[in-house]
């Protein structure tokens, strides 16, 4: 009797599975196919992304070599193409480098315009670097008030970029002849700890230079007197040949 019950139970199970498969089998196959296609697509996307990153890395390096070789206009064009076509990480950094290349090529206005666009980036580091570069690019032509407005987010004492912003303002004072104020600012920077080494060295050098009187206007130096003209040398008299002497 036990075997008969087992056979009946197995038959019932088989009938249930067949019924379920008829109703939902297509959905199961479709779901399995979707998972296989999705996994394959993900692998293809990773391969494509990796390939694009390698390509962008090579193009970025080539553009940087052009810039280092002094071919700023060509480098700016190369960085501009990368900014338009590269993956997001390379694209954003390439925009920053494009602006730097434009500035090196003498196109300061175009560089500053691009820096201003990058300042709106969601990447805080890129935006901050662009703000500092824009300030340096206009430090010789902007008023201190305009530079303060541009650097306002960074002049807060708690901002990590504060020392870099203060260096630009100190330079502006020096450039505009306010040497006493510039000296005080450079002294403060030189005395601070935990500054980047390059910034500390520049601040110390400017402190020494200004403390020694550098940057002061001592008036114009008169040109040296013109050298006196040398007296003409006497013309030697040719000796008379002995054979022509009169006896």
pLDDT, one tens digit per residue, over 100-109 is: 999 999 999 9
102 and 151 share one domain: no
Name the pTM for this structure: 0.67
CATH of residue 71's domain is: 1.25.40
C-beta of residue 147 within 8 angstroms of C-beta of residue 170: no
Stretches where the chain sits below pLDDT 50 are 5, 48, 244-247
128 and 190 share one domain: no
Q: Residue 5: what pLDDT?
A: 47
Rounded distance, CA 153 to CA 161, Å?
9
Domain of residue 185: give its range: 141-215
Q: Residue 217: what pLDDT?
A: 58
**Domain boundary residue among 137, 171, 199?**
137
88 and 20 share one domain: yes
Which segments of the chain are extended strands (E)? none
Non-local (6+) Cβ contacts of 75 within 8 A are: 63, 64, 66, 67, 97, 101, 104
130 and 117 share one domain: yes
Non-local (6+) Cβ contacts of 63 within 8 A are: 75, 78, 79, 82, 94, 97, 101
168 and 102 share one domain: no
Q: What angle do CA 23, 25, 28 make, to 5 degrees?
A: 125
Q: Residue 84: what pLDDT?
A: 87
**Domain boundary residue among 137, 163, 187?**
137
168 and 115 share one domain: no
191 and 121 share one domain: no
146 and 124 share one domain: no
pLDDT in tens, 109-140: 999 999 999 999 888 999 999 999 999 999 99
Rounded distance, CA 165 to CA 168, Å?
5
Task: Tell me whether residue 193 is in a domain.
Answer: yes
Rg (CA), the chain: 39
**Is residue 147 exposed (0-12), middle (13-18) or buried (19+ Cβ within 10 Å)?**
buried
What phi and psi values does residue 159 have, to the nearest 5 degrees? -80, 135
8 and 114 share one domain: yes
Count of domains observed in the chain:
2
11 and 96 share one domain: yes
Task: Tell me whether residue 11 is in a domain.
Answer: yes
């Amino acid at each position: 009797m036990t075997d008969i019950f087992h056979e009946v139970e197995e038959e019932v199970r088989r009938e249930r599975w067949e019924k379920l498969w008829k109703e939902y089998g297509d959905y199961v196959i479709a779901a399995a196919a979707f998972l296989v296609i999705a996994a394959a697509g993900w692998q293809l996307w990773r391969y494509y992304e990796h390939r694009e990153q390698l390509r962008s890395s090579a193009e970025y390096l080539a553009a940087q070599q052009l810039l280092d070789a002094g071919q700023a206009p060509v480098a700016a064009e190369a960085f501009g193409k990368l900014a338009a076509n590269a993956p997001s990480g390379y694209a954003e950094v390439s925009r920053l480098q494009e602006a730097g290349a434009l500035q090196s090529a003498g196109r300061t206005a175009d560089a500053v315009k691009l820096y201003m666009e990058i300042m709106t980036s969601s990447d805080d580091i890129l935006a901050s670097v662009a703000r500092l570069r824009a300030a340096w690019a206009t430090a010789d032509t902007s008023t201190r008030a305009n530079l303060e407005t541009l650097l306002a987010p960074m002049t807060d004492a708690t901002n990590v970029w504060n020392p870099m912003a203060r260096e630009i303002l100190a330079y502006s004072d020096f450039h505009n002849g306010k040497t006493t104020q510039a000296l005080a600012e450079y002294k403060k920077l030189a005395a601070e700890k935990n500054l980047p080494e390059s910034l500390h060295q520049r601040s110390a050098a400017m402190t020494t230079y200004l403390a020694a009187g550098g940057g002061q206007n001592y008036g114009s130096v008169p040109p040296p007197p013109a050298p006196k003209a040398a007296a003409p040398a006497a013309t030697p008299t040719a000796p008379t040949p002995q054979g022509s002497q009169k006896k």
